[in-house]
Amino acid sequence: MSKIKLSKDFIRNTVKRALNEDLYPSGDITSSLVKNNKIIKVKIISNENAIVGGLLFAKQAFNLVDNKIKFQIKKQDGSNVKKGSLIATIEGNARNILIAERIALNFLSHISGIATKTNKFVKLAGKKCKICCTRKTIPNTRVIQKYAVKLGGGTNHRFNLSDEFLIKDNHIASSNVKNLVLLAIKNKKGRKITVEVDNLKQLNEIMGLKFNTVLFDNMSVKNLKAGIKIVKKYYETEASGNINLKTVKRVAKTGVNRISIGSITHSAAAIDFKLEI
């Protein structure tokens, strides 16, 4: 799959767009009321237990507003932090710190939220089963969200539609599953092929064809176990469909190789951080 790259330029450009969104067209009209020569020291504190992530984005926010601001990282991305933990210290011009504050905290909160939720699934699934993200991401933030998944111990699924053949229910409804798989094999050019099934009858139609992964979608644990027993010697296995923190352990115990979960990116709650003066 495409590699997730968080280069300095990518981080800078991403944060720059966020600042432009926040400051157009007249800048921070409230912070401009603060004395321009006032120097302050502040702390970023976590208000809850979390896997922290996004510190370089936060640092870049302050740097872009004022490169004289000193931002000292106290916890590294991927660290498991407790409520009340000191995440970073900041020293510099008060007005400029206040301008960058919310953008910095937004990146921290969102990335840490995904990393934290992913980590909860990873712990419940155990070491033999991978937790994967999906393409259910906020448009234009996929790189950041998939980075956050990795911080939480998860595995990145395909990055985009060019990475892998993933023959899903609507493809099958629009054509014939066996023909689709054969065409994918013919055009694979080194890419993996995954075929989604939602019942054992569909599974029997594709058995023996040379592809990589069977994706069991929205199947009961009983049927999932039966399907894995049929295919485990021949294909990698994946489960998906409405799997949550209450059910993931049960699904993982079926012996499935990986579980893909959309909610770790599309609905992870933000982690609460505060900037304390």
**Domain residue limits, the chain:** 8-119+269-276, 122-266
Report pLDDT for 1.
44
pLDDT at 5 exceeding the cut of 90? no
Catalytic hit among 102, 191, 249, 253 = 102
Q: Enumerate residues 6+ apart whose C-beta is below 8 A from 20.
A: none
pTM across the whole model: 0.96
pLDDT at 23 exceeding the cut of 80? yes
Q: Cα separation of 44 and 61, whole Å?
A: 14
pLDDT at 116 exceeding the cut of 70? yes
pLDDT band at 157 (very low <50, low <70, confident <90, very high): confident
- List the beta bridge partners of residue 194: 166, 213
Mark whether 168 is an active-site residue.
yes
CATH topology of domain 8-119+269-276: Aldehyde Oxidoreductase; domain 3 (3.90.1170)
Report pLDDT for 263.
97
Q: Please, are residues 90 and 42 in contact by the beta-carbon 8 Å criterion?
A: yes
Percent of the chain with pLDDT over 90: 97
pLDDT at 109 exceeding the cut of 70? yes
pLDDT at 92 exceeding the cut of 90? yes
Range name among 18-22, 173-177, 255-259 with the lowest pLDDT average: 173-177
Mean pLDDT of 191-212: 96
For residue 47, which phi and psi values (nearest 5 degrees)? -90, 5
pLDDT at 2 exceeding the cut of 70? no
**E-state strands within 28-98:** 39-46, 50-51, 70-73, 80-81, 86-93
pLDDT at 133 exceeding the cut of 90? yes
Mark whether 48 is an active-site residue.
no
Alpha carbon 140 to its chain centroid, in Å, reads: 13
Report pLDDT for 3.
58
Mark whether 102 is an active-site residue.
yes
Catalytic hit among 74, 120, 136, 188 = 136
CATH class of 122-266: alpha beta
* Average per-residue pLDDT for the chain: 96
Report pLDDT for 57.
98
Catalytic hit among 28, 101, 164, 217 = 217
